[in-house]
Copies of this chain bind each other. A is one copy, B any other.
Amino acid sequence: MSAASKPKLPADDYISLMLFYQAYAETIDNGDLNGWPALFTVDCVYKIQSRENFDRKLPLATMAFESQGMLKDRVYCIRETLYYEPYLQRHVVAAPVVTSVDGDTVHAHASYAVFRTKPDDITHVYNVGRYEDTLVKSPESHHGWLLKSRICVFDSDLILNSMIYPI
């Protein structure tokens, strides 16, 4: 077999990145809300935005946070002030595609499907789309990576009931 096209990341780094994507999903699916902001840098961006608005560069987003502090505020809000019916989420996240590497900074994206289960109900497709991400390698992070920016670009303009937890 001829030589492979040069990979954007060494195999070990790519696998660790892929596992970070799974760790992120797992943190949310396990309901570990306090663990969620810890996956981001202090100066992070996090948005959940419909594909229609993302593609047209329109600013409207379902959620838009511009620092780790705002993520922590959202967690506080979910835990202490919002009134809602709880539900379970299950992410199935595909292998991330690295588009560029600049020092310790990586641009990548990955398709996801999130399934939602309410108490005493069957499981529904809740939100599908792709993560558009900027990540930084971070040896002090438990998972080796932190999100500098994550935009969850989802396909449907309609959201089943309300969206409480992060995607």
> Do A156 and B12 have beta carbons less than 8 Å apart?
no
> Which A114-167 residues sit within 8 Å CB-CB of chain B?
115, 117, 119-125, 127-130, 137, 139, 143-144, 155-158, 160
Q: Name the interface residues of A96-123: CB closer than 8 Å to any CB of B.
A: 96-98, 101, 103-104, 109-113, 115, 117, 119-123
Binds B, one of A32-40, A41-49, A84-92: A84-92
Taking a contact as CB atoms under 8 Å apart, the answer to whether A113 and B111 are in contact is no
Which residues on the B side are within 8 Å of A158 (C-beta)?
120-122
Say if the beta carbon of A78 comes within 8 Å of chain B: no
Partner of A92, one of B94, B117, B119, B121: B94
A22 & B94 in contact (Cβ 8 Å cutoff): yes
The answer to whether A90 and B22 touch across the interface, beta carbons within 8 angstroms, is no
Contact check, A104 vs B22: say whether CB atoms are below 8 A apart: no
Closest to A127 in B: B123
Contact between chains at A101 and B1 (CB < 8 Å): yes
A4-B12, A90-B155, A120-B157 given; name 7 further pairs at CB < 8 Å: A1-B9, A1-B104, A11-B11, A51-B88, A90-B130, A92-B94, A115-B128
Interface residues, chain A, CB within 8 Å of chain B? 1-5, 7, 9-16, 18-19, 21-23, 25-26, 29, 51, 88, 90-98, 101, 103-104, 109-113, 115, 117, 119-125, 127-130, 137, 139, 143-144, 155-158, 160
